[in-house]
Amino acid sequence: MKNNGSKWFKVSEDSRSWEDFYRKRWNYDYSVRTGHGVNCSMACSWEVFVKDGLICWELQKTDYPQIDPDIPNVEPRGCQRGVTASWYPYSPLRPKFPYVRKVLWDFYSEELENGKDPVEAYAAVVEDEEKSKLYKSARGKAGWKRVTWDQSVELVAAAQIHTIKKYGPDHMANFSPIPAMSLLSFISGHRYNNLLGGIYCSYYEWYHDLPHVSSSMFGDQTENCESSDWYLGTYWIVAGSNINMTRTADAHFLSEAKYRGSKIVVLSPNYSDVTKYADTWVPLVPGSDGAFLMACIHVILKEFYVEKETPYFTEYAKQYTNLPFLVVLDKDGDKYQMGRFLRASDIAEYASEENADWKLIMADGSGRLHVPTGSIGFRWEEKPTGNWNLQLKNAVTKEDFDPLLTLLGNEEQEATVSFSDFTDTFSIYIGRTEGKGKKATEILRAVPAKKIRTKDGEELLVTTAFDLTMAQAGVGRGLSGDYPEDYDDPKPYTPAWQEAQTGVSRDLAIQIGREFADNAEKTKGKSLFITGPGIQHFYHGASLYYRNEAVMLALCGCNGVNGGNFNHYVGTQHTRLNAAFVNMSGALDWSRPPRLMNSTSLWYFQTGQWRYDNMSLDTQWATGAKKLPEFNHAADMNALAVRLGWLPFFPQIDKKNSLEIYKEAVAAGCQTDAEVKEWVLERFKDGTYDFAIRDVDAPENHLKMLTVYRGNLIGTSMRGHELSLKHWLGTHNNVMWDEEPAKGLVNEVEWHEESPIGKLDFLVNLNIRMDSTANYADVVLPAAFWYEKYDVTFGDMHTFVHPLTPATQPPWEAKHDWEAFKCIAKKFEELAKKHFPEPVKDVVLNATWMDSPGQLAQPLGEIRDWRNGDTEAVAGKTFPSIAIVERDYTNIYDKLVSLGPLVSKPKGYGSKGQYTDLTPIVEEELKNNEALEVRDGRVFFEKAEQFCELILQISPELNGRLSWLFFKEMEKKVGLPLADMVEVIKGRKVHYKDIISQPRRIHTTPQWSAMLHDKDGNQRTFGPWTMNVERLKPWHTLSGRQEVYYDHQGLRELGEALPTNKPPLDMVAVGDINLDKAGPKSKVFRFITPHGKWQIHSSFRDHWPMMHMSRGGPTVWLNPDDSEEIDVKDNDWVEMFCENGIEVVRAVVSHQVPRNMAITYHQVERHVNVPLSPLAKKNNLSDLRGGNNNATTRILMNPHTMIGGYAQFSYYTNYWGTSPSERDHGVIIRKMPLGADQKPVYRESELHKVPEE
């Protein structure tokens, strides 16, 4: 062969066998479809390849069904983390066998050898003060003992039985986050725990991923667009979200929308990755987003509601918001305070209506008062009248009417109303606040008002919620009072006012507000927000800053419109298969109710962090507040919330075993469960009983046992990490506080002079890697990796359901979570035969729940404390609900693996207040399903793949017949056709084998607010609240509309009845940062912890490929001018610290970061490149190694999130409750002193090399 003179080719006879190396690199034996059970919210479908029995690599699957030919496909959607996940199964960090902390095991084994049974042996160890202290102080250190599965689960079951027997089931808890990332695995442990009566810990608000405004304004935990719906939006504001860094797989929709012509505005203090897409970048001061948005609201109201009429906006506001409803003005000297909504119970014509306290009033142009359909009172009628809908119709007279949005022009007088200004409570710049902060100041502004005569002859002065909103925003309309004159007048909330708060020019605020509304007017609502933790994680982020976004959208008619909406993305919040998730994880098919607990409050008290909370709430009250300032500390507010039934708390009753309480009641003469409930209530009234929260540091009120799986509670999410190590786990820590400053501030919780150390007796962790939680656990059980098990996964970024399937069987001794909890359940049963031979009765106290008649617990939103004599204690009304649950501890396993009878009761199955009878599905479908087993008339699902099949079949999102049944039930309340939406898919059923073949999309159900297809089955993208807007189904709120005005007394006293702005907390003023410890060449920074590029929380952060892509250890990003000021160069080691703890990291010096702001991408753990701290050595701390990025934080609880017992302000797990608020925190940063060799020290044996100071 000749090459014809080509210089590019050569003919050679040399061997080319070396090429086989590259060919064989991509040879494989087989592949499977699976996914990643990680908290990224993207839930992608992957193909995993296996060769010689080993997982070798993965590639994204690209066979998602197309939603709409006019919208780009969901794929491609790969990411750098997911494409390297195959490193994890064989990681050196993977636990391969069960392990027990050796010092504990030795004590336990000794007791067994002495003839005790496992329960007695565990009790002998844990109740021995010295032995208990020894094994707890070993947490976080080396010293593991490899044991068998049988030995490990015996110890776990023994600990559970001892805890139940001595303290009660409400002294043990279960924590696992994000069901959507692997639903069956999530259900496994929670189902088992709830059968025992343990605490079901929330995760969503604990991760501070819950957008509280979604609950308070919309009555939804979270509703947002799937990412393909973004493409339809024509004006985007991206705020607090870094899409292409943290939503990598979906970022293509951003570039595609921009290519289509959408305008992108980015609100970000730093030049983040998403900023490069921006047409307009708004570089505001961290935490000032709420101020900027208030100015935009001012512009929108002035230009689109006053200076010109915008029919689309006003008609939308009348029908879909609570702005037209009448609000009572309360006389307060020579002024008025904003009051509650006017109710049907106030008006003679309507006072006889059922639930009249819960039906609100509008007025029309003639002055006639109307009770419109849709208020929450119609939702919970004993016999539905079909008036729970959003027609503008008088529910009593059946006449249509046109409500007045404003009384201006129809007023009888002006009323001067008091508003609160929080501008100067804290400086927007950390460290510059005077003293400990200032109280709010009063602004007086007039509103148009008219008089109303009540049924009792009383004269009330009323205005509309819209008129109050205008006054709050500073839009005067010619009315008297302290209104700004124009945009340049620096009074709240003008563009000039925001300039001093945000550092952004007033002209830019005017431009953004104007453009946003103009686009919405022209496109009928296709302006949108994409928002995330950059805003959410501030103290006021989820309740106020987010609210300003949502209100902008409501004023412009964008919510409920494809291409619009309030789109919050933090965590994987959409548990698409909601009814199955709620019922199976809660074991509601066997017993009700579960013990639902908001984790933030639990950890705040159990970890001792409340003792270090130095913040009085003086800066948070409105000027006219009278009731709540009596509870001037977060701990006091939480105690009030518990006794009024607003929030739950477990352990529940002070120094009492919930199983013994029932026995006490029977001994006192009670013969029925109803009598026991009344007896328990009386014991609270006469003071015999009290809530455990009142004395949380008493040993009998400590949480005794915790099981954690599928999450990294101790490392990733434990704000106040070092405080929790000290007080909760009883081990080494680098807490720097010299005192516990809450002493003297707290009145409702008993103060113990000696703070408890090592409160938690037993920590069990089921894990795929030795992360922080595993390292601090007492027992570690090896879990199957995502590529080694059957499961179901989905997310909020799309509407498809995927499988996890095993590419290989779990190696070594790892087990599927489901198999692990089955093992524990069998052993528990075995031991229970001796210790609980007969069924027992358990007294369960819970808060009043959302999406239940409990929403009507406390009329008029008045705070009435039964303990102070304001009202009578009534269970489920002014007091927590009381239930009696029978538990048969000898029959746990069969209940765990079979479907119980309660779901087949009338309205026995469902979620979010939508219920039906599952009997036809069970009898006609499940019992004839070849994938399931039927024994003794019950459906069994012992195998993981069987459980997955069951979950899909009882999910209305994938079973069209079940969705139709739910809609038929809903029609009775709504009074309008709804089931017609799903007639076309009534026969559709998706099986587990179907999603293994190809991803399958969910369809329309009552559990979600979006319409995913038309009557002909044509697909449409998931856009929240389209069902509310297009089919007039109400929101789950007081008015049934989007709530712009909150009339609960507590929220009015917080000055948060209307959209407002409160600056971030200044932690120097609060006391967490002691400037006396700063020293020379150090500086205070706002400490920001966004999601990172090379990890998903702490997953992948210890992952060899991702560490090579980053700097391989903890870092902090600083501005060059700040770095120069403290003599720090790029890659220098620095110490970040405050009173809560110390972190040691390397500096990344970058112009992307603004001054006075430090960025650490979370989460950073301590087992990769974390040296010893000279500062810790100087302060003689028990742990000299730098902490993780939660070392310098602690839990900060906002009283807004404790309000409850009232309409949408009602508790349900992951729907409502306190959050930890980490973005307000600050740190002092200094260059870390190094030894003579100028190297950091890692080994404790070389402690002498750490420089002395």
pLDDT in tens, 901-930: 999 999 999 999 999 999 999 999 999 999
3-class DSSP assignment, residue 925? coil
The answer to whether 853 and 876 have CB atoms below 8 angstroms apart is: no
Percentage of the residues of the chain whose pLDDT score is greater than 90: 91
Distance between CA atoms of residues 554 and 856, nearest Å: 26
Which tokens sit at 180? 């959507």
Residue 1113 belongs to some domain of the structure: yes
Mean pLDDT calculated for residue range 136-143: 96
Q: Per-residue confidence at 1174, pLDDT binned at 50, 70, 90? A: very high
142 pLDDT exceeds 80?
Answer: yes
Nearest C-alpha neighbor of 727 from the set 636, 829, 824, 605: 605
Measured distance CA(669)–CA(663) in Å, rounded: 10
Residue 201 shares a structural domain with residue 334: no
Domain final residue pick, 837, 856, 885: 837
Token pair 């009338």 in the structure block, residue: 906
Three-state DSSP class for residue 807: coil
259 phi-psi bin (left φ>0, alpha ψ -120 to 50, beta other): alpha
Q: Residues 79, 122: one domain? A: no
* Residue among 822, 224, 890 nearest 563 (CA): 224
Domain boundary among 837, 859, 876: 837
Asked if residues 807 and 88 have their Cβ atoms less than 8 Å apart, the reply is no
Helix (H/G/I), strand (E/B), else coil: 583: helix
Q: Is the sign of the CA dihedral 815, 816, 819, 825 positive or negative?
A: positive
CA distance 161 to 392: 57
Check if the beta carbon of residue 284 is closer than 8 Å to that of residue 428. no
**What's the rounded mean pLDDT across residues 892-903?**
98
Q: In this structure, are 106 and 76 located in the same domain? A: no
Q: What is the pLDDT of residue 177?
A: 94
Does residue 756 have a cis peptide bond before it, meaning omega lies within 30 degrees of 0? no
SS3 of 1184, please? coil
Residue 177: C-alpha distances to residues 205, 209, 567 (Å): 11, 11, 21
Q: Are 822 and 897 in contact (CB under 8 A)?
A: yes
Single out the residue of 38, 49, 46 nearest to residue 807, CA to CA.
Answer: 49
CA distance 991 to 949: 6
- Of 410, 412, 433, the closest CA to residue 423 belongs to 433
- pLDDT digit string, tens, across residues 40-72: 878 899 999 999 999 999 999 999 999 999 999
What's the whole-number average pLDDT of the chain? Answer: 96
Asked whether residue 385 falls in the same domain as residue 460, the answer is yes
pLDDT of residue 1 exceeding 60, the answer is: no
Residue 658 within a domain = no
Separation between Cα atoms, residue 982 and residue 973, nearest integer Å = 18
What is the spatial order of strands in the sheet that 263-267 belongs to? 280-282, 263-267, 235-239, 527-531, 566-568
Mean per-residue pLDDT for 21-34? 92
User: What gap in Å lies between CA 327 and CA 341, rounded to an integer?
Assistant: 4
Average pLDDT over residues 687-711: 98
Mean of pLDDT values over 1211-1232: 96
Q: On the CB side of 475, how many CA atoms lie within 13 Å of its CA?
A: 21
> For residue 471, is it within any domain?
yes
> Given the structure tokens 């200032």, which residue do they identify?
438
**pLDDT, tens digit, for every residue of 1028-1077?**
999 999 999 999 999 999 999 999 999 999 999 999 999 999 999 999 99
Six token digits for residue 727: 């007080």
What type of residue is 159? Answer: A
> Could you tell me if 734 and 1173 are in contact, meaning their C-beta atoms sit under 8 angstroms apart?
yes
- In our burial notation (b when 16+ CB lie closer than 10 A, e otherwise), range 1153-1182 reads bbebbbbbbbbbbbeebbbbbbbbbebebe
Mean pLDDT (whole number) for 485-502: 98
- Give the pLDDT mean for 1082-1090: 96
Relative to beta strand 1082-1088, strand 1157-1159 is parallel
User: Distance between CA atoms of 321 and 1015, rounded to whole angstroms?
Assistant: 27
- 103, 86: one domain: no
649 assigned to some structural domain:
no
Domain total for the chain? 5
Let me know whether 738 and 800 are in one domain.
yes
Q: Is omega for the bond preceding 493 within 30 degrees of 0, making it cis?
A: yes
Q: Report CA-CA distances (Å) from 1162 to 268, 535, 568, 1185.
A: 18, 16, 19, 18
Task: State the pTM of this model.
Answer: 0.97
Q: Which helix (H) or strand (E) holds 1141?
A: strand 1141-1149
pLDDT in tens, 987-1031: 999 999 999 999 999 999 999 999 999 988 899 999 999 999 999
At 118 the three-state DSSP class reads: helix
Model confidence pLDDT, tens digit, residues 519-576: 999 999 999 999 999 999 999 999 999 999 999 999 999 999 999 999 999 877 789 9
CA distance 706 to 760: 8
pLDDT > 70: what percent of the chain?
A: 99
83 and 115 both lie in a single domain: no
Q: Are residues 76 and 113 in the same domain?
A: no
Q: What is the pLDDT of residue 1098?
A: 81
Q: Are residues 796 and 909 in the same domain?
A: no
Nearest to 760 by CA among 913, 902, 603: 603
Continuous segment of H or E residues that includes residue 765: strand 762-767
Strands 762-767 and 1000-1001: unpaired
Least Cα distance to 639 among 694, 703, 701 occurs for 694
Contact 953, 910 (CB under 8 A): no
Omega before residue 920 within 30° of 0, cis: no
CA 370 – CA 397 distance, rounded (Å)? 9
Residue-wise pLDDT for 863-877, tens only, equals: 999 999 999 999 999
Whether 539 is in a domain gets the answer no
CATH code for the domain in which residue 38 is found = 2.20.25.90
Summarised one tens digit per residue, pLDDT across range 272-323 is 999 999 999 999 999 999 999 999 999 999 999 999 999 999 999 999 999 9
Burial class (CB in 10 A: 0-12, 13-18, 19+), 23: exposed
- Rounded to whole angstroms, the Cα distance separating 599 from 601 reads 6
| Position with higher pLDDT, 1107 vs 540 | 540
SS3 at position 263: strand
Domain assignment present for residue 767? The answer is yes
What's the pLDDT at 716? Answer: 84
Report how far residue 197's alpha carbon sits from residue 165's, in angstroms, rounded to the nearest whole number: 12
Q: What is the pLDDT of residue 22?
A: 86
Q: Are residues 827 and 972 in the same domain?
A: no
For residue 57, list its beta bridge partners.
49
Nearest to 1049 by CA among 180, 339, 430: 339
Task: Give me the domain span that covers residue 1077.
Answer: 1073-1193+1223-1249
Please report whether residue 525 resides in a domain: no
* Spatial separation of the C-alpha atoms in residues 33 and 53, rounded to whole Å: 16
- Is residue 234 included in any domain, yes or no? no
Question: Residues 150, 71: one domain?
Answer: no
1157 conformational bin, left if phi > 0, alpha if psi -120 to 50, beta if neither? beta
In angstroms, the Cα distances linking 327 to 284, 372, 614, 838 are 35, 15, 37, 56
Give the Cα separation of 1027 and 327 in Å (integer).
28
Please give the helix or strand (H or E) that residue 1083 lies within, else none.
Answer: strand 1082-1088
d(CA 70, CA 601): 47
Residues 331 and 396 in one domain: yes
Are 201 and 586 spatial neighbours (Cβ–Cβ below 8 Å)? no
Question: For residues 156, 158, 161 and 165, what is the CA-based torsion angle, rounded to 10 degrees?
Answer: -130
Mean pLDDT in residue range 60-86 = 91
Of 90, 125, 141, which closes a domain?
Answer: 90
